[in-house]
Chains A and B, each alone.
Chain A
Amino acid sequence: MQRISIDPITRLEGHGKIEIFLNDAGGVENCYFQIPELRGFEKFCEGRPADQVPQIVSRICGV
């Protein structure tokens, strides 16, 4: 089975990768979209004062 990796996907904020598997006839057998990143804002914002959170989460995406 032929495999095509699109790594990284570009021209967007963030990280992504696409794996495409082709069958013997050359058609797409299956396709997987992967996000190879995590920073964990969901956790590390815990315990931060509420008024500081907008300043922190503005760095989730600066685009």
Chain B
Amino acid sequence: MGIGEQHIVKSFDIELGKLDEALARMGGLAESQMASAIQALESRDSDLAAQVIEGDAKVDACDAFINEQAVKVLALRAPVADDLRTVVTALKVAGEIERMADLAANAAKRSRVLNQLPPVEPMRSLIRLGRLALVMVKDVLDAYLSHDAERALTVRERDQEIDNVYSSLFREILTYMMEDPRTITPCSHLMFIAKNIERIGDHATNITEMTYFRVTGKTVAEQRIKTDTSSSAGAEDLT
């Protein structure tokens, strides 16, 4: 007797497999939602933005499916060990992807407002931030689906870069608003979108940690270092 990759009960493999398939589909959808949202911002394309807003329902449907499927596997198969981790992390990862897609849809909504207003310079940096986040999301989903704990840890490091770019973008936007108060309306939308993107990076980071847990059964012990200082930027003006 020995151990194999497959369960003796083949339908168990099929049921577990459905979770990964659904996550792959959901992740792919969320990625393209994000990519389109960034594209809509860059090319001031309100139609594309509208598609993103509409497309969020599909991501939500995936989330609902994964929830049902996970509950079903828990109830009917009573999974343990790595099987249990597969089910529990699928539930949580689906939740993270759902939030990321929400944030992308919200960015698309704001882009339609921005299109009514004159363009502002910091948009270029915002697009750069968006692309960084998109690459991170792609990579973490790949790491999750290929059960690659090492790669997840490497991807996790990248959130720092997103936080750094976000902090400097925050200052950049602030500077523009102070120099030209007419840009305050578009710039505050930009600021919210930047925050959305920074949050997407945090959700991606959560997925790296879930990947690590799913594969190794251990939590990422080391504490993340937060150097996002935007929350204190401008504080000197308030005093």
- Do A and B pair up? The answer is no
B residues whose Cβ falls under 8 Å from a Cβ of A: none
